[in-house]
Structure 1
Amino acid sequence: MKIIICGSMSCAREMIEFKKKLENLGHVVKIPEDAEKHLNGKITEQDKWEKLEFNVFKNYFQEIKKSDAILIINKEKNKLINYIGGNTLIEMAFAHVLDKKIFLLNPIPLLSYTNEIEAMNPIILNGDLNNI
């Protein structure tokens, strides 16, 4: 299965780790291009502007379009358990309208948009990638 990993860049380490684990399980996996830079603390203001200039967001949505599924790395962030932020919610919605499978690493968080997440009917992995 071709899987696109999405989530907050605060989860860059997990994105890289889960990419390797999923590849070992036989999946083809894509993570955000700048995950390594985030992990190493090397994201600059210039990098942020390049995201806009080179359509990084549109390019990642094209990857979602070509995928079978997305995996959301939803871990605690800023004391919010199983956090899913705005950009990740948009990626989920995009996958949903394209009839892609949506996997959540952890249960759905309690947020102002929990109902919208539930409406996309994601598959909850309960932390176990073998459930894909």
Structure 2
Amino acid sequence: MEPRIKTIVICSSASFYGRALEIEEELVKKGFRVSIPSTAYKMKQSGDFEVDHYKTWFRNPDDYPVKAERMREHNNKIVEGDAILVVNEEKKGMPGYIGGNVLMEMAIAFHCGKPIYVLNPVLDSSPFYEEILGMGPIFLFGDLTKIVL
């Protein structure tokens, strides 16, 4: 019986979806199955990486159910996957940015006992620093070869 291919679920701010797609390709070459947010795929297909074009709920609050559905969809991927990889680049002047939504995704992985890989270090000035470290993530310092499943 062949070993099962492990699935890594990428979690990321929508601002980093371009980078997440690059990382997806690298991980597939390393033999992993990779799952990313559906909006990242839409961005790739359209070539449009302008986040505001997808977050329509800011312009139309009636679209918040779309946000909720996307969250549920990605959360299910986390539950079904073997590990998560948080892609955290610089945003809002903060290196290693992790926002509220990604923090929630990390909490789901933590609750399910999944390994949590974080691409870049998180500053101790992050408002979620204590919670992030409390989940025992594995910091990769940009080196995807450190992922072991």
By the TM > 0.5 criterion, same fold?
Answer: yes
2:78 & 2:127 partners in 1: Cα distance? 25
Contact 1:84/1:109 (8 A) holds in 2? no
| Larger deviation, residues 120-129 vs 34-43 | 34-43
- Offset at 1:69? 0.3
In the TM superposition, 1:63-102 aligns within 5 A as 63-102=77-116
| Larger deviation, residues 121-130 vs 105-114 | 105-114
Q: Are 1:121 and 2:136 matched, yes or no?
A: yes
TM-score by length of 1: 0.90
Gaps of 5+ in 1: none
TM-score by length of 2: 0.80
2:15 & 2:100 partners in 1: Cα distance? 14
1:13 & 1:37 partners in 2: Cα distance? 8
Tell me the secondary structure at the aligned position of residue 34 of structure 1. helix
> Residue in 2 aligned with 1:34?
39
In the TM superposition, 1:11-22 aligns within 5 A as 11-22=16-27
Task: Specify the structure having the higher radius of gyration (Cα).
Answer: 2
Contact 2:95/2:122 (8 A) holds in 1? no
2:141 & 2:67 partners in 1: Cα distance? 34
